Structure 1
Amino acid sequence: MRQLSELDASFLYLESETTPMHIGGIYLFDASEQTTPLTYSTFVAYLRSRLHVVPVFRQRMKEIPMRLGRPYWIDDADFSIERHLAYVNLGGNSSRANLTSLASKIMEEPLKRDRPLWHITFVDGFHLDEASEGQGFALIVKLHHAAIDAFSGEDIISKLLEYTPEPRPIHPPRPWHPRPAPSEERVMIQAGANLLKTPFQLTSLAFNAMEATTRGVIQKQLRKLPMPFPLFSAPHSPFNRQVTANRQIISVSVALSRLKAIKANLGSVTLNDVVLGLCAESLRRYMNAQGADGSKSLVAMTPISVRSSSLRRATGNQMSAMLLDLSTTEHNPAIRIRNIHRNAVVSEPYREAIAADRLTELLPSTLLALSARLYSELQVAQRYQPAFNLPITNVPGPQVPLYLQGARLIQQYNTAPLFDGLGLVIVAVSYQGQLTVNFTLCPDVVPEGESLASYVEQSLSAIEAAAADLGNEDSQETAADHAQSTLTDDVLNALEGALKKAIHRIRP
């Protein structure tokens, strides 16, 4: 048995009828160069032959009686691929708008818990361009957040697709013999053993938190900067209200080369900073158009993968996160990107100190679920200051073309789950020289959401012009400042080393 982490289990317990906790994807394929278009039956046979590369596709949840512990992944002895697939033919309604509308309706439905937590809809008869007869098809994919995060989701899709236009031979599926489900007695014994380990886990986490907090205090005093972790400093915004079950997907693509040119003009910023700056400018324009109060800067939660090459699992959530001031009160969008970069650098010690899966050990997932229900039912999001305004995730994807039985993947849109108090989520995914900015929103919370696509285009042009005017100037960092920063880092490192030695001596 493989037990879910606290973070993974929390995604299960946070789910409700109006807040399904799955990650989604819409994948558009060009089959115009194929003599024989890919049929649904061929796709089923292909997927069946590739199930062995994604073990979680044939694993379901095993709940612990009375929820005395986190669920386990076990093999589904009754697995049937047909229960996870659906077929739709758009016929004469094959525009991208109709496709995203269909996907929005599919994303509103939670995945069923009595089977592995994934589903794929094969959309046939899709035309890549309304003005042409170019044949294609699309896949609408749902994967539960308890099984993957946005980063591992890209890994899974890459394993299912191909890197060459020559179709891979479809072999018979490998023999698969599900392991017997554990007995209730074994599950209870394992749950009891895990409970005994909890005090030691809390002790370990307390020491890690002590180290991180002390370093933060020292850094605050040395650098004379405000505390970088903007907890509950996020303003009220139009996005932070109670959501309904309705969903809308808005996507727009821009050339990566334009973003890289902005990065080159601005100097010491990252491409991720430029993407965040593009999102910030788009949100600022939307809020201005809606007449929302923009006197305080928006705060984003930015998930960061903590996967490593030495410890890498294809599934599960291995993430950390930081709260990041988007500097939306700054009028110059180029200077804002530099501000975002500085804010990210200052927040880095907090990001590295305790990963998200460690933080959730402080609060058992069952209690987290209860508090989430109360948060929703009491409409806390509308009465109190939010911790952050929205999540923004930037996922680097493959820059080489991917194929499915000879059909080339030309576009992908991605969605993320919403929750009460979070009516808008942004996922940016790059693929083959393009960056697609995806807005998943609740239209009852974020009205006129379709305008966000035009704001992205306007924002990119505005940032390009501002970056060209600003040039590759030094970002107010003199040689003396640099020397002081280096000296400060040396002092920090020395104090941190002494602190760790002292703490290790008193560890039980």
Structure 2
Amino acid sequence: MRQLSELDASFLYLESETTPMHIGGVYLFDASGLSDPLAFSTFVSYLRSRLHVVPLFRQKLKEIPLRLGRPYWIDDPGFSIERHLTYVNLGEHGKQASLMSLASKIMEEPLKRDRPLWHITFVDGFRIDDPEGDKQGFALIVKLHHAAIDAFSGEEIMGKLLEYTPEPRPIAPPRPWLARPEPSEERVFLQASANMLKTPMQVASLAYNAAEATARGLVKKQLQKLPVPFPLFTAPHSPFNRQITANRRIVSASVSLSRLKAIKASLGDVTLNDVVLGLCAETLRRYLKQHGGDTDKSLVAMTPISVRSSSLRKATGNQMSAMLLDLATNEPNPAARIRRIHQNAVESEPYREAIAADRLTELLPSTLLALSARLYSELQVAQRYHPLFNLPITNVPGPQVPLFLQGARLIRQYNTAPLFDSLGLVIVAVSYQGQLTLNFTLCPDVVPDGDSLQDLIEDSLTGIEECLHDLGPDQGLETPHGSGQNLTDEILGALENMIKGGLQRFRR
């Protein structure tokens, strides 16, 4: 048995009928070079031969009696690949708009908990738009639960399932696999009881960090009474932070990585990720202006940070921390904004959560964690108070070499992320073969006219490029008037050192 981490389990507890917590992907393949169309039965045989490279595909959840602890991953003795696959033929409607509409509907449905938490829809009859005429293709719509993977490990999994050569390899027979016996309820209960005996030691070590975080919160509350803005801790209300419904829509657009790299080179000391965030920020600002939103207050993004070890890589689970980042959307110059985003990212290093996301959930038993997630949604906490952040933005580097599936080349991929209460919009940026695709997963009842985001991406990129010519060497690097961030840093630093010293003496 392999127990879920606290962060992985939290995605199970956040799930509801209107908030399915899976990561999705739509993968488009060009099959025009194949002598024969790839049959669904061939795809099933191919996938069956590759199951051994992703063990989680044959593992399901084992709940702890009375929710005394986090669930475990165990082998599914009744595993059947057919329960995880669906075939759809678009027929005469096989255009990209129809495909994305189908994908949006599929993403609305939660994965079933009585089996391994993944599903793939094979879409036949898809026609690829091409200047020389429509090309024959097919698509895969993939769902993987967030409890099993994060966006970074999801890319690794797809890289393992696909091939790096255009020549179709012979499909090997599936490797023999025998499910390990399912643990008895008694064994699971005893394991949970043993874990509970360790809890006092665990809680003692966490109490120190919790006290620091609590004291920090009190300090911030008092500082907020001063005329010093706190953009990294108090995100403004925005149209994106309202109660969501079960409806989903996927909106995507691609831009050339070379254009983004040229912007990075022009701006100097910024990263490519800063440029991507700047493009997202300009797109959001233009959307807000089109729909009468407030652009005087800067949006705050939550940007996941992969903490995977380069020496010990684990392809599954959630191995990430997070950073709150001021997107400077109140800065009118989109090129200067990128410099300011970089500056905010560097300065916000000390402002990361006092307890990382995977340790924060350790403070609560599984039952309380599940209850708190439900109450957070049902009491509409995020709508009654300022949200911690306005939206998540994830930038996932993808392969820059072509991938194939039995000779069919992957030409584009679109990725989705889960929404939950008060978060009606999520952005996932994925690069592949010299292109960066910005993917907007949105609730259309919260974010109307979502299709306009496609055109706004190109307009935003052009606007950034035009502003580069007149940008001064230090423009965007100055501290905004009245921000008081340096004063805030000094106050927080001094008070936190006092708190830490007192807690350390108490700990002894």
- In the superposition, the TM-score normalised over structure 1's length comes to 0.90
RMSD: 2.9
Letter in 2 for 1:64: I
Task: Tell me which residue corresponds to 1:293.
Answer: 294
- Could you say if the C-alpha distance between residues 502 and 371 of structure 1 is closer, same or farther in structure 2, counting changes exceeding 3 Å? closer
1:447-466 aligned within 5 A: 447-466=448-467
- Could you say if the C-alpha distance between residues 505 and 158 of structure 1 is closer, same or farther in structure 2, counting changes exceeding 3 Å? farther
Question: In the aligned structure 2, how far is the partner of 1:324 from the partner of 1:158?
Answer: 30
Task: Tell me which residue corresponds to 2:125.
Answer: 125
Letter in 2 for 1:230: L
Task: Tell me which residue corresponds to 1:482.
Answer: none
Task: Tell me which residue corresponds to 1:18.
Answer: 18
Unaligned runs of 5+ in 2: 480-485
Alpha-carbon displacement from aligned partner over 1:287-330 (angstroms, at most 9, x marks no partner) = 11111122211111111111011232110001100111111111
**1:94 CA displacement:** 1.1
Task: Tell me which residue corresponds to 1:230.
Answer: 232
SS in 1 for 2:464: helix
- Could you say if the C-alpha distance between residues 54 and 472 of structure 1 is closer, same or farther in structure 2, counting changes exceeding 3 Å? farther
1:283-432 aligned within 5 A: 283-351=284-352, 354-432=355-433
Letter in 2 for 1:332: N
Question: In the aligned structure 2, how far is the partner of 1:456 from the partner of 1:472?
Answer: 26
1:28-67 aligned within 5 A: 28-67=28-67
**1:59 CA displacement:** 0.1
Question: In the aligned structure 2, how far is the partner of 1:507 from the partner of 1:375?
Answer: 32
Contact persistence 1:67–1:366 (CA under 8 A): yes
Structure 1 residue 438 corresponds to structure 2 residue 444: no
Contact persistence 2:231–2:326 (CA under 8 A): no
Alpha-carbon displacement from aligned partner over 1:42-71 (angstroms, at most 9, x marks no partner) = 110000000000000000000011111100
Task: Tell me which residue corresponds to 2:139.
Answer: 138
Question: In the aligned structure 2, how far is the partner of 1:408 from the partner of 1:369?
Answer: 42
Moved more, 349-358 or 437-446: 349-358
Task: Tell me which residue corresponds to 2:202.
Answer: 201
1:207-286 aligned within 5 A: 207-208=208-209, 230-231=232-233, 233-286=234-287
Task: Tell me which residue corresponds to 2:5.
Answer: 5
Task: Tell me which residue corresponds to 2:99.
Answer: 99
Question: In the aligned structure 2, how far is the partner of 1:78 from the partner of 1:360?
Answer: 32
Contact persistence 1:229–1:347 (CA under 8 A): no
Question: In the aligned structure 1, how far is the partner of 2:53 from the partner of 2:505?
Answer: 45
Contact persistence 2:336–2:475 (CA under 8 A): no
Unaligned runs of 5+ in 1: 479-484
Question: In the aligned structure 1, how far is the partner of 2:84 from the partner of 2:3?
Answer: 23
**1:206 CA displacement:** 3.9
Contact persistence 2:68–2:366 (CA under 8 A): no
Contact persistence 1:320–1:352 (CA under 8 A): no
Contact persistence 2:335–2:471 (CA under 8 A): yes
- In the superposition, the TM-score normalised over structure 2's length comes to 0.90
**1:374 CA displacement:** 2.1
Question: In the aligned structure 2, how far is the partner of 1:429 from the partner of 1:182?
Answer: 39
Equivalent residue pairs, number: 491
SS in 1 for 2:465: helix
Structure 1 residue 108 corresponds to structure 2 residue 121: no
Contact persistence 1:266–1:471 (CA under 8 A): no
SS in 2 for 1:324: strand
Contact persistence 1:32–1:136 (CA under 8 A): yes
| Percent identity (aligned) | 76
**1:241 CA displacement:** 0.6
**1:468 CA displacement:** 2.8
Contact persistence 1:297–1:328 (CA under 8 A): yes
- Could you say if the C-alpha distance between residues 245 and 475 of structure 1 is closer, same or farther in structure 2, counting changes exceeding 3 Å? closer
**1:202 CA displacement:** 2.7
Task: Tell me which residue corresponds to 1:481.
Answer: none
**1:406 CA displacement:** 0.8
Question: In the aligned structure 1, how far is the partner of 2:256 from the partner of 2:188?
Answer: 51
Alpha-carbon displacement from aligned partner over 1:250-307 (angstroms, at most 9, x marks no partner) = 0000000111111111111111111111111111111111111222111111111110
